[in-house]
């Protein structure tokens, strides 16, 4: 069997040669989850001018030799208003985000001041400052977040909510992103029926179709659902040809083992090329990777659709998607990072009988900040994937005692959110 790392290296090498070439411009409002094809460069400083980070009073620190000094208020500056230069010996009533008036070098928060009425009723009153300010306090300097000409988001960035906010902060109303991946999905198995249909003896409901379709949608793909394909070679080959016509990737579940009714491998081999692996991981072991020729092609990269065949057990299919399919999807979109980073967390469980394969245990973070396991780690128990919020990545033959540090992969990070 091959290691998962070796399999990933082989698949990603192929996928990175097939990065989606088509790009489009989209409104920043609508770019969540998309992958930048071009970096975002700031045309301005952020903030564009020195401003206050507090409601309070702007002044010159030199005008406050001692606590309790009283200064007349010469201006009132809300955010969005540019005031006149500060008159020496006065203070300016200022509100969070307002541009600092020329000549001011400190802001004192309003909680450390007392507003005094204007006895004559002719001005804005005065303020008693109960502290001695330091020059520069509570001031956000021009360009301290972003400087003019800086690249704030690099090509290959998958756009998170905070990345969209950063793009907006430098005035980017539209972003150049890669086209969404187009993925054709189908299941194989004469035993599969859809929810709502009668469940005859020997039949099972097709949970993988729902799980994989949802995972693809969560990964930002455009999904063509081709349904359930009969367990025979001609039907499988015809479906592969149809799927390859307009897809970047074809994804299947089931039919990748070595049984007489497993037709995926011979069908893929007949319509393109494949590598069929036994991967040293649990759950999951059989994995098929290859490509299907589009009609009239000679096998060049731009005339093939990639193919991935996952095992049929529901948890095996789910875990294999997260660990193998999601990185390939990121790679064909040109993502700068294809694989997530594990978190070191405390194991609040014992795992005394490790497997010779690398194990991925369904776990969740408990109220004490440690990890607890779902009690049944069988590859057929889909309940475990709903209960958990990530996977413990356990090397082969490694037992775990309560209190050990283990590697944890949150589901959200595995999907690249």
Q: What is the pLDDT of residue 245?
A: 92
- Tell me the pLDDT of the chain averaged across its residues: 92
Q: 87 pLDDT exceeds 50?
A: yes
pLDDT digits (tens, 9 = 90+) for 265-304: 899 999 999 998 999 999 999 999 999 999 765 545 568 9
Confidence of residue 260 (pLDDT cuts 50, 70, 90): very low
Residues 52-65 have a mean pLDDT of: 96
Where is pLDDT greater, at 346 or 229? 346
Q: How high is the pLDDT of residue 363?
A: 98
The proportion of the chain whose per-residue pLDDT surpasses 70, expressed as a percent, equals 95
The pLDDT confidence band at residue 379, using thresholds 50, 70 and 90, is: very high
pLDDT band at 340 (very low <50, low <70, confident <90, very high): confident
pLDDT at 195 over 80: yes
- HEC profile for the chain? CECHHHHHHHHHHHHHHHCCCCEEEEEHHHCCCCEECCCEECCCCECCCCEECCCEEEECHHHCCCCCEEEEEEEEECCCCCCCCCCCCCEEEECCCCECCCCCCEEEEHHHEEEECCCCCCCCCEEEECCCCCCCCCEECCCCCECCCCEEECCCCECCHHHHHHHHHCCCCEEEEECCCEEEEEEECCCEECCCCCCCCCCEECHHHHHHHHHHHHCCCEEEEEEEECCCHHHHHHHHHHHHCCCCEEEEECCCCCCCCCCHHHHHHHHEEEEEEEECEECCCEEEEEEEECCCCCCCHHHEEEEEEECCCHHHHHHHHHHHHHHHHHHHCCCCCCCCCCEEEEECCCECCCCCCEEEEEEEECCCCCEEECCCCCCCCCHHHHHCCEEEEECCCCCECCCCEEEEEEHHHHCCC
- Tell me the β-bridge partners of 296: none
Q: Which residue has the higher pLDDT, 215 or 297?
A: 215
- Calculate mean pLDDT across residues 68-74: 95
What pLDDT does residue 261 have?
Answer: 53
With a cut of 60, say whether residue 386 has pLDDT above it: yes
Say what the pLDDT of residue 99 is: 96
Q: Is the pLDDT of residue 204 over 90?
A: no
State how far the Cα of 91 lies from the Cα of 74, in Å rounded to an integer.
Answer: 6
Model confidence at 188, pLDDT cuts 50, 70, 90, reads: confident
Q: What is the pLDDT of residue 338?
A: 63
pLDDT mean over 237-249: 94
């Amino acid at each position: 069997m091959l290691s998962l790392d070796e399999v990933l290296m082989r698949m990603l090498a192929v996928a990175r040669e097939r990065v989606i070439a088509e790009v489009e411009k989209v409104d920043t409002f609508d770019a969540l989850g998309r992958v930048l094809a071009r970096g975002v460069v700031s045309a301005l400083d952020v903030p564009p001018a020195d401003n206050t980070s507090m409601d309070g009073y702007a002044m010159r620190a030199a005008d406050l030799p001692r606590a309790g000094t009283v200064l007349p208020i010469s201006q009132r500056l809300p955010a969005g208003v540019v005031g006149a230069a500060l008159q020496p010996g006065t203070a300016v009533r200022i509100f969070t985000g307002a541009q600092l008036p020329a000549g001011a070098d400190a802001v004192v928060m309003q909680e450390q001041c007392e507003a005094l009425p204007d006895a004559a009723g002719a001005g804005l009153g005065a303020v008693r400052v109960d502290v001695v300010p330091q020059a520069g306090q509570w001031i956000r300097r021009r360009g301290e977040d972003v400087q003019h000409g800086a690249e704030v988001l690099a090509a290959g960035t998958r756009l998170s909510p905070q990345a969209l906010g950063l793009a907006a902060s430098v005035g980017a109303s539209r972003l150049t992103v890669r086209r969404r991946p187009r993925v054709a999905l189908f299941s194989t198995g004469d035993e599969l029926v859809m929810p709502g249909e009668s469940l005859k003896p020997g039949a099972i409901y097709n949970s993988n179709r729902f799980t994989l379709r949802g995972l693809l949608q969560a990964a930002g793909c455009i999904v063509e659902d081709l349904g359930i394909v009969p367990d025979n070679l001609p039907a499988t080959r015809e479906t592969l040809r149809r799927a390859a016509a307009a897809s970047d990737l074809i994804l299947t579940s089931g039919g990748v083992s070595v049984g007489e009714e497993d037709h995926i491998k011979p069908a893929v081999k007949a319509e393109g090329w494949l590598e069929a692996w036994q991967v040293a991981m649990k759950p999951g072991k059989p994995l098929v990777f290859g490509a299907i020729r589009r009609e009239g092609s000679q096998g060049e990269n731009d005339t093939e659709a990639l193919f991935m065949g996952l095992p049929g057990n529901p948890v095996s299919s789910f875990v294999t998607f997260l660990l193998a399919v999601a990185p390939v999807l990121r790679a064909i979109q040109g993502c700068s990072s294809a694989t997530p980073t594990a978190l070191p967390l405390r194991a609040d469980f014992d795992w005394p009988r490790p497997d010779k394969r690398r194990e991925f245990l369904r776990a969740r973070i408990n109220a004490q900040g440690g990890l607890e396991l779902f009690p049944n780690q069988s590859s057929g128990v889909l309940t475990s994937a709903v209960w958990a919020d990530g996977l413990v990545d356990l090397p082969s033959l490694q037992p775990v005692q309560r209190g050990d540090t283990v590697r944890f992969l949150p589901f959200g990070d595995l999907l690249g959110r």
